[in-house]
A and B are shown apart, each in its own frame.
Chain A
Amino acid sequence: MKIKIGRILQYIYIYVLCIIVLLPVLNIFLSAFKKNVEINRSAIFPSALLFENFTAVLKSDIFYSGMLNTIIITGGALILSVMICTMAAYPLARNRQVIYTIVYFIFLSAMMIPSVANMVPLFSLMRQLGLLNSRIGMILLYASNVSMGILLFTSFMKNIPIEIEKAAEIDGCNYFQTFWHITLPLMKPVWISYIMIQILGIWNDFLLPQLFLSERSKQTITLAVFTFRNERGSDWGAIFALMSLVVIVPMVLFIVNQKYFLKGMVAGGIKT
């Protein structure tokens, strides 16, 4: 009997926790239909389904430019970073010489450098390179954040039997051909995990866009929410409508690909 009560408490605890976690998310969508007055006095449900808030958002330019910028920056950064991380991981996973180990740890050491601590010199570097308010600048910056990719890809490649590559080499494949025809096709699962995690990271990032994209037309969608809030002040209905449009993409991505989120990254992180 005693055990059963404990079990019931566990059920109550975890379900209550789920409700608490879910409420703020639901509130985003509910509030998107509310009038400003209702938001200001925190009415739980909207009195009627108002679509005015959405039309206000769809009329504002920052929604479109924000989405477009985010897609360009995320896409560009992902393509570039998957390429360079995979290339770097290949020799790092296959060579045992000390120099490769050192390079590997230099890459990983960056996980300890908070981007916050580096923001002043990073800003002046970006300014020197003329990359302020530049989408290319953001792509390079995100792609340069290689620690996670190299960690994941290297540990994944180490689990691919080296014999396959040796066999290809004996058959006359050169370095690049072995990499291209043998190793690359096997990388798909870890790429997908990595891409999923990175998409969300870039989509939701706030600090770097705030630092480097002050120009309204270059802002990413997450920064656009912040800008929109500062511009509209108390027009919370429109702000919530914008937010509900912004969160749909990561939520759908996550729910559709949940197994990659719930498995992929952890496995790589813990094994090494």
Chain B
Amino acid sequence: MKKTSEAVTNVPKAKPAVKQRKGFRVKRAVRHHICSGLFILPALGLFLLFTYYPLIQNIMYSLTSWNGITIEKDFIGIQNFIQIFKDRTLVQSVGNTFYLAIALLLMGLFLQFSAALIVFSKVRGHGVIKVILYLPAVLSPIVLSYTWIQFLQYPGYINQLLEVIGLGQFKNMWLGNESSVKLVLAVIQSLQYTGYGMIFFLTGLNGIPKDIYEAADLDGSSGLNRLFKITLPLMMPSITVTLFISITGALNSYAIPLSLTGGGPNGASTTIAMQIYQRAFGMRQFGYASAIGILFFIIIAAITTLQLSITRKREVEY
């Protein structure tokens, strides 16, 4: 590809260049870049206006005690940031978010990867299985939350099932219990995105050349050894992408906890996203909410950068 395009650009050079023609070419190049710029402009303009401009504003607001209504914003330095660390409810929600994210990642990746391996081995009905597992990902989290209530409420399906199979003593207020609520939320969210992640892993699995496995067979490698020495390293690019999407998705949890538990009981399922919303639009602490947003952004950027650099390094060429 590179070679051929060079060959094409080299064609005019081979011809004896007349002076006029050279000027024409420079003019052409300038015109080319102007056109290129004009083509990029609409996207870049909208993008900067709605993404980077707010990000910069965010930094400015975070240094004020603005309430979102008044025109003047009192500059208070880094007081908001100091306040964050003293803020019990906020610290709790940070803990919740990380708990939720880690549980979600572990469960989600396990479900996604195991499903991908099994579907890849061409089980009967693998086409339908793919569609079924992906299905919840196309539904709104709000809708899914409301239907899960039927399962999780005290007279719900899960407790009914436990009663039927004789495990009545394990009946639980699944959403009303501070110790179980986060786990339940993680299960629900990981089930929603099982099919989504599975598709990424399947692409990775499909991309591994068959002859590598044949060579491994000849060398007598099998089973788990093969999984860790061949399959996983070779599908690192799809793992990179899936991890990135899962981490950002998990840390941004908002709609499902909000519609299922409203953050309760006792704030046990309040996430950072819900806190930012609540502080800004419930309590009118725009400056403070901005500061939380900034810290949140830094945390996410740090974690994802770390993750990308770790997994990218492990990607191997073949």
Q: Are A42 and B160 in touch, CB under 8 angstroms?
A: yes
**Complex interface residues of chain A between 214 and 272 (CB less than 8 A to chain B):** 222, 225-226, 229, 239-240, 243, 246-247, 250-251, 253-255, 258, 261-263, 266-267, 269-270
| Given A84-B42, A118-B51, 13 more pairs with CB closer than 8 A | A11-B123, A13-B118, A42-B153, A88-B39, A94-B36, A111-B244, A119-B293, A122-B54, A175-B35, A211-B281, A247-B139, A254-B131, A269-B241
Q: Are A144 and B49 in touch, CB under 8 angstroms?
A: yes
Closest 5 CB pairs of A and B: A91-B36, A144-B50, A121-B57, A88-B43, A204-B140
Render B232-252 as a binary contact track against A, CB cut-off 8 A, 1 for contact: 000001100100100010011
Q: Are A88 and B241 in touch, CB under 8 angstroms?
A: no
Q: Are B297 and A25 in touch, CB under 8 angstroms?
A: no
* Majority secondary structure of chain A interface residues (helix, strand, loop or mixed): helix
- Provided the pairs A84-B42, A206-B142 are in contact, do residues A120 and B53 lie with their beta carbons within 8 angstroms? no
Q: Are B300 and A40 in touch, CB under 8 angstroms?
A: no
**Complex interface residues of chain A between 111 and 158 (CB less than 8 A to chain B):** 111-125, 140-141, 143-146, 150
Residues from chain A with a CB closer than 8 A to the CB of B107 are none
Total B residues in contact with A, Cβ cutoff 8 Å:
96
- B280 interfacial by beta-carbon distance below 8 Å: yes
Q: Are B143 and A28 in touch, CB under 8 angstroms?
A: yes
Interface residues on A, range: 35 or more
Residues from chain A with a CB closer than 8 A to the CB of B142 are 206, 222, 225-226
Residues from chain B with a CB closer than 8 A to the CB of A146 are 43, 46-47
Q: Are B121 and A206 in touch, CB under 8 angstroms?
A: no
Q: Are A87 and B58 in touch, CB under 8 angstroms?
A: no
Q: Which residue of A lies closest to B4 (CB)?
A: A163
Q: Are B130 and A17 in touch, CB under 8 angstroms?
A: no
* Majority secondary structure of chain B interface residues (helix, strand, loop or mixed): helix
Tell me the smallest distance from the CB of B143 to a CB of chain A, in Å. 5
A19 to B144, CA, bound (A): 15
Q: Are A24 and B144 in touch, CB under 8 angstroms?
A: yes
Render B273-301 as a binary contact track against A, CB cut-off 8 A, 1 for contact: 10011001100001001100110110011
Render A1-23 as a binary contact track against B, CB cut-off 8 A, 1 for contact: 00000000011011001101111
Q: State the total of A-B contacts with C-beta under 8 angstroms.
A: 274
Which of B43, B51, B53, B147 has a CB less than 8 Å from the CB of A31? B147
A243 to B145, CA, bound (A): 11
Listed by A's residue number, 15 A-B pairs whose Cβ atoms lie within 8 Å are A21-B194, A42-B156, A84-B42, A85-B43, A88-B44, A113-B55, A114-B248, A125-B53, A144-B51, A175-B32, A204-B139, A206-B142, A229-B259, A247-B143, A261-B134
- B150 interfacial by beta-carbon distance below 8 Å: yes
- A51 interfacial by beta-carbon distance below 8 Å: no
Q: Which residue of B lies closest to A207 (CB)?
A: B254
- B40 interfacial by beta-carbon distance below 8 Å: yes
Residues of B bordering A, CB below 8 Å = 1, 4-5, 8, 31-33, 35-37, 39-40, 42-44, 46-47, 49-55, 57-58, 61, 68, 111, 114-115, 118-119, 121, 123-124, 129-136, 138-144, 146-148, 150-151, 153, 155-157, 160, 191, 194-195, 199-200, 203-204, 207, 237-238, 241, 244, 248, 251-252, 254-255, 259, 272-273, 276-277, 280-281, 286, 289-290, 293-294, 296-297, 300-301, 304-305
Q: Are B54 and A118 in touch, CB under 8 angstroms?
A: yes
Q: Which residue of A lies closest to B272 (CB)?
A: A116
- A203 interfacial by beta-carbon distance below 8 Å: yes
Residues of A bordering B, CB below 8 Å = 10-11, 13-14, 17-18, 20-25, 27-28, 31, 39-42, 44, 83-85, 87-88, 90-92, 94-95, 97, 100, 103, 106-107, 110-125, 140-141, 143-146, 150, 161-163, 166, 175-176, 179, 200, 203-204, 206-207, 211, 222, 225-226, 229, 239-240, 243, 246-247, 250-251, 253-255, 258, 261-263, 266-267, 269-270
